[in-house]
Amino acid sequence: MNTSSNSIKITNQAFQHLLNLNRLILNKVYLRISVKQGGCSGMSYSMNFEKVENLTDIDNIIDYSDFQIICDSKSLLYLYGLSLDYKDSLVGGGFQFINPNATQTCGCGKSFSV
Protein backbone atom coordinates (compact mmCIF):
# COMPACT_ATOMS: atom_id res chain seq x y z
CA MET A 1 0.00 0.00 0.00
CA ASN A 2 1.15 3.48 -0.82
CA THR A 3 0.16 6.73 0.84
CA SER A 4 -0.77 9.47 -1.60
CA SER A 5 -1.56 13.09 -0.97
CA ASN A 6 -3.56 15.60 -2.99
CA SER A 7 -4.36 13.04 -5.70
CA ILE A 8 -8.10 13.37 -4.97
CA LYS A 9 -9.54 16.57 -3.57
CA ILE A 10 -12.65 16.67 -1.38
CA THR A 11 -14.77 19.78 -0.89
CA ASN A 12 -15.76 20.72 2.65
CA GLN A 13 -19.38 19.74 2.04
CA ALA A 14 -18.41 16.30 0.69
CA PHE A 15 -15.95 15.81 3.55
CA GLN A 16 -18.60 16.56 6.19
CA HIS A 17 -21.05 14.20 4.51
CA LEU A 18 -18.42 11.43 4.39
CA LEU A 19 -17.62 11.93 8.08
CA ASN A 20 -21.32 11.67 8.94
CA LEU A 21 -21.67 8.46 6.92
CA ASN A 22 -18.56 7.02 8.56
CA ARG A 23 -19.98 7.72 12.04
CA LEU A 24 -23.01 5.58 11.20
CA ILE A 25 -20.70 2.59 10.71
CA LEU A 26 -19.26 1.18 13.92
CA ASN A 27 -16.15 -0.42 12.39
CA LYS A 28 -13.16 1.52 11.09
CA VAL A 29 -13.64 1.75 7.33
CA TYR A 30 -12.18 3.54 4.36
CA LEU A 31 -13.97 4.97 1.36
CA ARG A 32 -12.98 3.13 -1.81
CA ILE A 33 -13.24 5.13 -5.02
CA SER A 34 -12.56 3.25 -8.23
CA VAL A 35 -13.27 3.15 -11.94
CA LYS A 36 -15.08 0.28 -13.66
CA GLN A 37 -15.75 -0.44 -17.33
CA GLY A 38 -19.33 0.41 -18.26
CA GLY A 39 -21.75 3.26 -18.05
CA CYS A 40 -23.10 5.32 -20.88
CA SER A 41 -19.76 7.09 -21.48
CA GLY A 42 -17.51 4.02 -21.25
CA MET A 43 -16.23 4.10 -17.66
CA SER A 44 -18.11 4.61 -14.42
CA TYR A 45 -17.22 5.75 -10.93
CA SER A 46 -17.68 3.41 -8.00
CA MET A 47 -17.74 4.32 -4.30
CA ASN A 48 -18.19 1.99 -1.35
CA PHE A 49 -16.91 1.55 2.18
CA GLU A 50 -14.08 -0.93 2.68
CA LYS A 51 -12.89 -2.64 5.85
CA VAL A 52 -9.22 -2.37 6.73
CA GLU A 53 -8.64 -6.12 6.36
CA ASN A 54 -9.75 -6.00 2.68
CA LEU A 55 -7.00 -3.62 1.55
CA THR A 56 -4.52 -4.95 -1.02
CA ASP A 57 -0.95 -4.21 -2.12
CA ILE A 58 -2.17 -2.21 -5.14
CA ASP A 59 -4.28 0.14 -2.99
CA ASN A 60 -3.23 3.73 -2.41
CA ILE A 61 -4.28 5.37 0.83
CA ILE A 62 -5.14 9.06 0.60
CA ASP A 63 -5.11 10.44 4.13
CA TYR A 64 -7.35 13.34 5.17
CA SER A 65 -6.49 13.03 8.91
CA ASP A 66 -10.03 12.17 10.07
CA PHE A 67 -10.85 10.09 7.01
CA GLN A 68 -9.04 7.95 4.43
CA ILE A 69 -9.82 7.16 0.81
CA ILE A 70 -8.57 4.01 -0.87
CA CYS A 71 -7.97 3.89 -4.61
CA ASP A 72 -6.31 1.07 -6.54
CA SER A 73 -3.35 2.04 -8.72
CA LYS A 74 -5.15 1.48 -12.04
CA SER A 75 -8.16 3.61 -11.06
CA LEU A 76 -5.91 6.35 -9.68
CA LEU A 77 -4.51 6.87 -13.20
CA TYR A 78 -8.00 7.98 -14.30
CA LEU A 79 -8.88 9.80 -11.08
CA TYR A 80 -5.72 11.77 -10.35
CA GLY A 81 -6.76 15.39 -9.76
CA LEU A 82 -10.43 14.47 -9.22
CA SER A 83 -12.53 16.73 -7.01
CA LEU A 84 -15.32 15.09 -5.05
CA ASP A 85 -18.19 17.38 -4.13
CA TYR A 86 -21.58 16.83 -2.51
CA LYS A 87 -24.81 18.63 -3.37
CA ASP A 88 -27.69 18.45 -0.92
CA SER A 89 -30.60 18.86 -3.33
CA LEU A 90 -33.57 16.75 -4.35
CA VAL A 91 -32.80 16.88 -8.06
CA GLY A 92 -29.21 16.19 -9.06
CA GLY A 93 -28.07 15.85 -5.45
CA GLY A 94 -25.50 13.46 -4.05
CA PHE A 95 -21.80 13.08 -4.72
CA GLN A 96 -20.46 14.91 -7.76
CA PHE A 97 -17.26 13.91 -9.59
CA ILE A 98 -15.26 16.70 -11.23
CA ASN A 99 -12.62 14.85 -13.20
CA PRO A 100 -10.01 16.86 -15.14
CA ASN A 101 -9.02 13.70 -17.04
CA ALA A 102 -12.50 13.16 -18.52
CA THR A 103 -12.96 14.15 -22.15
CA GLN A 104 -16.69 13.36 -22.02
CA THR A 105 -19.20 12.77 -19.22
CA CYS A 106 -22.76 11.50 -19.25
CA GLY A 107 -25.73 13.65 -18.24
CA CYS A 108 -25.89 12.26 -14.70
CA GLY A 109 -22.13 12.69 -14.15
CA LYS A 110 -21.59 9.10 -12.98
CA SER A 111 -19.70 7.90 -16.05
CA PHE A 112 -17.00 9.34 -18.30
CA SER A 113 -14.52 8.65 -21.06
CA VAL A 114 -10.88 9.65 -21.42
- Mean pLDDT, consecutive 10-residue segments, the chain of 114 residues? 68 89 75 84 85 89 86 91 87 83 70 70
Q: What is the pLDDT of residue 68?
A: 87
What CATH number does the domain located at 2-109 have?
Answer: 2.60.300.12
Coil, helix or strand at residue 72: strand
Q: What is the model's pTM?
A: 0.79
DSSP state of 79: H
Does residue 60 contact residue 74 with C-beta atoms inside 8 Å? no
Beta bridge partners of 34: 46
CA distance to 8, 10, 18, 37, 55, per residue, from 105 (Å): 18, 19, 24, 14, 29
Q: What is the pLDDT of residue 53?
A: 87
